[in-house]
């Protein structure tokens, strides 16, 4: 497991992971909501293009309510909820009407992708069928915020390509949800480095929208990487060995693209120059 973790550490520095200050219409507002209930503190994470002004949790109803405000017609959000807080079959209501967002779950979290239309104030209710599931008396006072560290929004890539719905963003999201989060090594990778990624990605994404030249530079730099990642959508990444093996291959491929190829080109240029 340590070897797998180290390999994924290296992979992180070659590829950008796919999750406040309002950045732009197309990027996101990152929120971390501390839900205190049953002697526990749970962290619910959201990344949205609208603001969450308030929230409340009803333990009797097993219901989390988010109060939002948006200046956009098309609203996008990703919500990560620890299963120890709410689990089972989740039901969603937007302004008292039932909606059906996409939900992916593993043994730790529910990852919700939400898309709805409407300006102004909205109320989103998330109701589970289990509450404090899996917690014992011995660990009831422990914080479970680490359960919500998987997943997130691709702030840099979204700022580069202009929309959460861009094909490149969908590709990164599917790779994360359908492959990385389905394995222990992949989950460990996402959990360990999301906080690192979000320590700088909002600044980079914000600067992209302010500086078109910088934005195009980032696009040129990350396009080969995203193209190489597309290969992973056609291979079996549902096992620990698959994640490690293809991860190493991807590292080598990107080293060749970003380091070896430029050195060869520069060397050939100097050689021709002296002739």
Calculate the alpha carbon distances from 236 to 4, 58, 144, 205 in Å: 17, 41, 31, 32
For the chain, report the end-to-end CA distance as a whole number of angstroms. 52
At residue 82, the 3 state secondary structure works out as: strand
- pLDDT > 90 fraction of the chain, expressed in percent and rounded: 22
| Mean confidence (pLDDT) of the chain | 77
Convert the pLDDT of each residue in 19-29 to its tens digit.
Answer: 333 333 444 57
Is residue 192 predicted with pLDDT exceeding 80? no
pLDDT at 260 over 80: yes
Q: Where are any strands of DSSP class E within 49-99? A: 51-58, 63-70, 74-82, 86-87, 91-94, 97-99
- Pairwise CA distance, residues 183 & 2, whole Å: 15
CATH code of the region 29-152: 2.60.40
Q: Which of 19-23, 135-139, 215-219, 223-227 has the highest mean pLDDT?
A: 215-219
Q: How confident is residue 273, by pLDDT bands cut at 50, 70 and 90?
A: low
Q: How confident is the model at residue 172 (pLDDT cuts 50, 70, 90)?
A: confident
Token pair 């209930």 is found at 37
Higher pLDDT, 5 or 112: 112
Helices (H), the chain: 2-14, 155-161, 167-178, 184-197, 201-210, 212-229, 240-255, 261-274
What's the pLDDT tens digit per position in 112-157? 988 999 889 999 999 999 998 876 544 444 434 344 344 455 778 8
Distances (CA, A) of 19 to 37, 55, 177, 268: 25, 20, 12, 41
Give the pLDDT confidence score for residue 203 in this predicted structure: 83
User: pLDDT for 69-116, tens place per residue?
Assistant: 988 888 888 899 999 899 999 999 999 999 999 998 887 889 898 899
The domain ranges of the chain are: 1-19+155-275, 29-152
Confidence class of residue 193 from pLDDT cuts 50, 70 and 90?
Answer: low
- Tell me the two tokens of residue 195: 């906080």
Q: What is the β-pairing status of strands 102-105 and 91-94? A: unpaired
- For the cut 60, the answer to whether the pLDDT of residue 2 exceeds it is no
Model confidence, pTM: 0.49
Residue with tokens 């021709």: 272
What the block records as the tokens of 249 is: 């291959």
Residue 18 confidence (pLDDT) above 50: no
What pLDDT is stored for residue 275 in this prediction?
A: 58
Higher local confidence (pLDDT), 199 or 97: 97
């Amino acid at each position: 497991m340590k070897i797998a973790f180290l390999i994924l550490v290296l992979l992180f520095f070659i590829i950008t992971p796919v999750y406040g200050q309002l950045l732009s219409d197309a990027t996101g507002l990152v929120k971390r909501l501390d839900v205190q209930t049953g002697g526990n503190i749970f962290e619910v994470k959201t990344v949205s293009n609208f603001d969450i002004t308030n929230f409340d949790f009803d333990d009797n109803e097993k219901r989390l309510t988010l109060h939002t405000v948006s200046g956009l017609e098309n609203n996008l959000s990703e919500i990560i909820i620890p299963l120890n807080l709410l689990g089972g079959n989740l039901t969603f209501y937007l302004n008292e009407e039932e909606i059906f967002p996409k939900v992916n779950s593993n043994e730790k979290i529910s990852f919700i992708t939400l898309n709805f239309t409407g300006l102004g104030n909205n109320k989103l209710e998330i109701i589970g069928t289990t509450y404090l599931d899996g917690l014992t008396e011995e660990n009831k006072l422990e914080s479970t915020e680490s359960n919500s560290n998987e997943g997130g929004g691709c702030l840099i890539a979204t700022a580069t390509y202009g929309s959460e719905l861009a094909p490149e963003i969908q590709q990164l999201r599917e790779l994360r949800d359908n492959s990385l989060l389905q394995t222990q090594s992949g989950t460990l990778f996402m959990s360990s480095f999301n906080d690192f990624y979000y320590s700088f990605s909002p600044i980079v994404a914000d600067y992209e929208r302010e500086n078109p030249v910088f934005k195009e530079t980032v696009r040129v730099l990350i396009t080969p990487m995203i193209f190489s990642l597309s290969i992973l959508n056609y291979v079996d990444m549902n096992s620990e060995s698959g994640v490690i093996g293809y991860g190493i291959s991807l590292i080598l491929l990107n080293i060749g693209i970003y380091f070896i190829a430029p050195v060869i080109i520069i060397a050939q240029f100097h050689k021709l120059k002296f002739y």
